[in-house]
């Protein structure tokens, strides 16, 4: 039997509702097609609502409390640390990466670290930095921009965008041809079209969008009417005197958003998402052109969400729904089609899923779980709860409750997500919720104890914080 190919499609900073099939406010026909042919996971939670710790967790199946990487800090995954990519490669696959990984610092020339990517388990690599890093980091893409005489234009535009406020909305000066998400999509498409090795392929396509800035190029910049975008969620009501945490510090620093700002951001964000969907459509056409679409496992996911004005916030780095819940679609030959799984899922569960589907084994210390059982029976429970972590805070989500403990272990966020899916009322500190708080706090602590690494050294180089952003754009 011919092994299936694997296509892992990933975006950066895409909300769970930013799909046609889940939110209904933007067009993603190709992603909707993947959902129709597979399983959509409605309650997939990122392991950290910020890039670097989330991506380390995906690669390794380890939590931030295992890696020690709790935020966007300078860190580098050691070549001694096992990854799902290595196990897929060991199962006989040719592995490739097009786009962003953030498994090592975004500095210097990324091409000089291709040897490190190969150690992580990736054979063929065309890595880029994220939108911010691409101002200063060399890669095949930014070298192309430099040779075309447009890199300085990109840098100047970026500097101007963040000189006054963090939410300027206008088309990229790069235009469609040179836009980063188009570059990633086209490079992956060409790779698949030209692939001629006698082994199955595993292609990881990691787009940098729809991560801010809000700079979708035309015609996507004008694709959506700002006045037709969904209204942002309000700041949750809360009980006076409850414990506080990082979300409270964020809410205390008003981003100064107007209704017009939010509509413009959401329209441009929707345009960028539809642009990526179109690139995914071209990649799928390339797979179909090889006659391999029916024998290709397709996974689509994002590392974390984007607030886009919810609670008056931009970016991520909090545990509200817009930042912590992400889209996850899986289409696999012989598995369920057109199904929705409501069970809690953690985003790093993708790793052992791909290893199992490839015929390999995730035979190393890790805490992710293969989704294969629920791909066969989407009504089954995958996890009783999912957790996410950031800067010493921990969130737990089950099918009724979301609870967040601050760095002192106190409950400062509590939502009845079953009856209040919009997260309008923070019940933390309500005397009638005391027993619920105590039970959920105990469950969080039990999860942390159950997922400690004992007698198994993991390998990370962790340093201080990354270079600071301008105050107006930190998240």
Looking at residues 208-227, what average pLDDT do you find? 97
pLDDT digits (tens, 9 = 90+) for 118-136: 999 999 999 999 999 999 9
Average pLDDT over the chain, rounded to an integer:
93
Percentage helix, strand, coil, to 5, in the chain? 35, 20, 45
What is the model's pLDDT at position 469?
A: 31
What is the model's pLDDT at position 403?
A: 98
What is the model's pLDDT at position 248?
A: 96
Classify residue 292: in a domain, yes or no: yes
Q: Looking at the predicted structure, is the pLDDT value of residue 217 above 80? A: yes
Looking at residues 414-425, what average pLDDT do you find? 98
Distances from the Cα of 1 to the Cα of 4, 200, 295, 338, 359, angstroms: 9, 12, 11, 25, 12
Classify residue 473: in a domain, yes or no: no
Q: Looking at the predicted structure, is the pLDDT value of residue 166 above 50? A: yes
Residue 221's domain comprises 5-236+256-384
What is the model's pLDDT at position 474?
A: 30
Taking Cα atoms as reference points, which of 5, 16, 73 lies closest to residue 305?
16
What is the model's pLDDT at position 461?
A: 55
Classify residue 25: in a domain, yes or no: yes
The band of 453, judged by pLDDT with boundaries at 50, 70 and 90, is confident
Model confidence, pTM:
0.94
Neighbours of 457 (CB within 10 A): 9
The band of 205, judged by pLDDT with boundaries at 50, 70 and 90, is very high
State the Cα–Cα distance between residues 273 and 268, nearest whole angstrom: 9
Q: Which two tokens stand for residue 403?
A: 């609870």
- Rounded to the nearest angstrom, the gap between the alpha carbon of residue 328 and the centroid of all alpha carbons in its chain is 10
pLDDT digits (tens, 9 = 90+) for 84-105: 999 999 999 999 999 999 898 8
| Count of the separate structural domains present in the chain | 1
What is the model's pLDDT at position 314?
A: 94
The band of 172, judged by pLDDT with boundaries at 50, 70 and 90, is very high
**Cβ(51)–Cβ(296) under 8 Å?**
no
The band of 190, judged by pLDDT with boundaries at 50, 70 and 90, is very high
**Cβ(5)–Cβ(202) under 8 Å?**
yes
Classify residue 116: in a domain, yes or no: yes
What is the model's pLDDT at position 456?
A: 46
pLDDT digits (tens, 9 = 90+) for 12-45: 999 999 999 999 999 999 999 999 999 999 999 9
CATH number at residue 118: 3.40.720.10
Q: Which two tokens stand for residue 187?
A: 């490079």
What is the model's pLDDT at position 455?
A: 54
Classify residue 15: in a domain, yes or no: yes
Classify residue 420: in a domain, yes or no: no
Classify residue 213: in a domain, yes or no: yes
The band of 460, judged by pLDDT with boundaries at 50, 70 and 90, is low
Q: Which residues pair with 326 in a beta bridge?
A: 44
Looking at residues 240-247, what average pLDDT do you find? 96
Q: Looking at the predicted structure, is the pLDDT value of residue 457 above 50? A: no
Question: CB-based contacts of 66: which residues, under 8 Å, 6+ apart?
Answer: 367, 451, 452, 453, 458
Classify residue 474: in a domain, yes or no: no
Q: Let me know how long the chain is.
A: 475
């Amino acid at each position: 039997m011919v092994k299936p190919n694997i296509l892992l499609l990933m975006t950066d900073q895409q909300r769970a509702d930013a799909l046609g099939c889940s939110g209904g406010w933007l067009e993603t026909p190709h992603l909707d097609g993947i959902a129709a042919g597979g399983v959509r996971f409605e309650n997939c939670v990122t392991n950290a609502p910020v890039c670097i710790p989330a991506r380390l967790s995906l690669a390794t199946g380890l939590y931030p409390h295992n890696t020690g990487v709790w935020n966007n800090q300078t860190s580098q995954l050691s070549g001694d640390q096992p990854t799902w990519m290595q196990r897929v490669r060991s199962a006989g696959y040719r592995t490739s990466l097009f786009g962003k990984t953030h498994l090592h610092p975004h500095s210097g020339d990324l091409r000089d670290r291709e040897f490190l990517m190969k150690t992580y388990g990736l054979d063929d690599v065309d890595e880029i930095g994220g939108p911010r890093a691409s101002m200063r980091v060399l890669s095949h893409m930014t070298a192309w921009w430099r040779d075309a005489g447009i890199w300085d234009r990109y840098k100047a535009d970026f500097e101007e965008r963040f000189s006054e406020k963090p939410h300027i909305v206008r088309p990229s000066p790069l235009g469609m041809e040179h836009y980063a998400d188009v570059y990633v999509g086209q490079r992956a498409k060409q790779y698949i079209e030209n692939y001629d090795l006698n082994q199955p392929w595993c292609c990881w396509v990691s787009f940098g969008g729809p991560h801010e800035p809000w700079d979708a190029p035309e015609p996507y910049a004008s694709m959506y009417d700002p006045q037709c975008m969904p209204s942002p969620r309000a700041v949750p009501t809360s009980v006076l005197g409850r414990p506080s945490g990082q979300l409270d510090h964020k809410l205390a620093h008003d981003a100064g958003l107007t209704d017009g700002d939010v509509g413009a951001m959401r329209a441009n964000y929707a345009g960028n998402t539809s642009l990526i969907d179109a690139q995914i459509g071209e990649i799928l056409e390339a797979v179909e052109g090889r006659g391999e679409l029916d024998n290709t496992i397709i996974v689509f996911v994002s590392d974390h969400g984007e607030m886009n004005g919810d609670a008056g916030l931009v970016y991520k780095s909090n545990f509200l729904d817009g930042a912590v819940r992400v889209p996850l679609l899986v289409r696999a030959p012989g598995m369920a089609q057109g199904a929705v799984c409501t069970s809690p899922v953690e985003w790093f569960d993708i790793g052992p899923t791909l290893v199992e589907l490839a015929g390999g084994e995730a035979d190393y210390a890790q805490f992710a779980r293969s989704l294969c059982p629920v791909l066969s029976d989407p009504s089954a429970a995958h996890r009783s709860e999912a957790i996410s972590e950031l800067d010493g805070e921990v969130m737990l989500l089950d099918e009724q409750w979301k609870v967040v403990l601050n760095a002192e272990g106190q409950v400062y966020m509590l939502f009845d997500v079953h009856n209040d899916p919009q997260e309008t009322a923070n019940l933390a500190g309500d005397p009638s919720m005391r027993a619920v708080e105590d039970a959920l706090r105990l469950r969080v602590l039990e999860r942390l104890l159950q997922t400690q690494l004992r007698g198994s050294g993991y390998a990370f180089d962790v340093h201080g914080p990354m270079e600071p952003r301008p105050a107006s754009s930190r998240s």
